Structure formats: C-alpha cells, structure tokens
Copies of this chain bind each other. A is one copy, B any other.
Amino acid sequence: MTPAKHTQHAYIRDGAEIYRNSFAIIRNEADLSRFSGHAEKVAVRIVHATGMVEIAPEIVMSANFADAARSALLKGAPILCDAQMVAHGVTRKRLPAGNEVICTLSDPSVPTLAHEMDTTRSAAALELWRPKQEGAVVAIGNAPTALFRLLEMLEEDGAPKPAAIIGVPVGFVGAAESKEALAAYGQVPYLIVKGRKGGSAIAAAAVNALASEAE
C-alpha cells in the first residue's frame, strides 16, 4: 500500500514544457494577427501574464515600438520602472546587455519631493529618472500619475526622450486617460493596454519578451 502516491496531483513539473504549452495555447486561442515579429512575442507574453486571451484586442503598439525598444535594450538601455513589482518581474538573465533595472520609488528623497511637488510619490519619483532617461526603456505598470507626469516632463520640461514607453498603468482613476494621452502624444514609440486593465505583470512581461529572442 502506497497511499501517498494515490493522492499525488497530476501536473507538469518541467518549467520549459509549461512555457511551451502555455504559448501554444495562447497562439491557438488568441487573435494576434495584428502583430508580427517581436511585437507578436510581446502580445503573447502579455496574454500569458494575465491568463486572458481576451486582453489581446486591447493591446496597442505604435508601429515602431518593438524594434525601438529591442534595439535600445541591445545597446544597453536602462529599464526605468514606476514600481518595485515591475522591477522584480524583469528576468535579469534574459537581458541582453546586463541592462540596469531602476525603480526610484523607494529613494529616501521621494516623500519630500512629492510633498514639494504636491503630487504622488509615484509621479515625484520620476525626477530621479532624468539622468538615465535619454534612450531608456520606460515600464510604467502601476501608477497613472507616473505616466501623466512623464508626459508633462516630455511636453513641457524638455526632459530627455526615452527610446520606448511601456505605458500600462492599471485602475479606475486616470489609468485609461493616461494611456490615451500617451498614444496621443505619439512622439516616442509606445505600448499601451487600452482601458482600466494593466499592471506590473504586464509591464514586466513586455520587457521580458523584448529582452531576448528566446521564448
């Protein structure tokens, strides 16, 4: 009698096989015909991160987004994240040039900056991005105020231009509007998920898809 064996759950224990099967299911079920090349891989990973094939129609990338972001990463561009969850979702070993992954939200100067600027900590933290912002890949997965602030910096302050902006903040207040504003700005290659949906997992998934040819 080996009762322990009988209670074992049947599930796949090989990480590579789980990825392969997941991506095959996604490509079978989701309509990704609008995307090709690396943009398609980005869309697949976003669906993967959310468990939702129904998110595919809400993904919008400017025509040059995937090439611009991938090219920047290959050249060693830093990745500027609005939240620690985004930064910790980026798989370091996929990065092509030991790229820096930066989140300034926890910097000790940020609460004072936010008070002085009369805004959220997430928005104020972008002041610390400036020295790294030129040619960077931006990944905003949490705070609409961070994306709005980035647009203000670009439109009004002549702040350095990132190579590409992953703008996928989530939520009920400002998220949809901030993403529409990014698309309307249009002067930096961008990725958005329309509407309220978004999040750190989507932002990190996009970076991970762009970082490597390997799936």
Contacts and interface: CB of A to CB of B under 8 A. Distances in A.
Nearest to A28: B172
A94 interface: no
A22 B121 CA distance: 18
Contacts of A156: 4, 7-8
A12 B48 contact: no
Interface size on A, as a range, is: 35 or more
B89 A145 contact: no
Nearest to A141: B201
Interface in A11-65: 11-15, 18, 21-22, 25-26, 48-52
A145 B199 contact: no
B18 A174 contact: yes
Contact of A9 (B7, B152, B175, B201): B152
Contacts of A175: 51
B11 A155 contact: no
B199 A50 contact: yes
Given A4-B156, A156-B7, A200-B200, A172 B85 contact: no
24 contacts: A4-B156, A7-B156, A9-B152, A11-B144, A11-B174, A11-B178, A12-B145, A12-B173, A13-B120, A14-B120, A15-B122, A15-B145, A25-B173, A26-B172, A51-B172, A51-B195, A51-B196, A51-B199, A52-B197, A84-B88, A84-B89, A85-B201, A88-B88, A200-B201
Given A50-B199, A51-B195, 20 more contacts: A9-B151, A9-B181, A11-B144, A11-B177, A12-B174, A13-B119, A13-B123, A15-B121, A21-B173, A25-B172, A25-B173, A48-B171, A48-B172, A50-B170, A51-B175, A51-B196, A85-B85, A87-B88, A89-B200, A201-B201
Smallest CB-CB A-B distances: 8 pairs: A51-B196, A13-B119, A84-B88, A4-B156, A22-B172, A25-B172, A51-B170, A15-B120
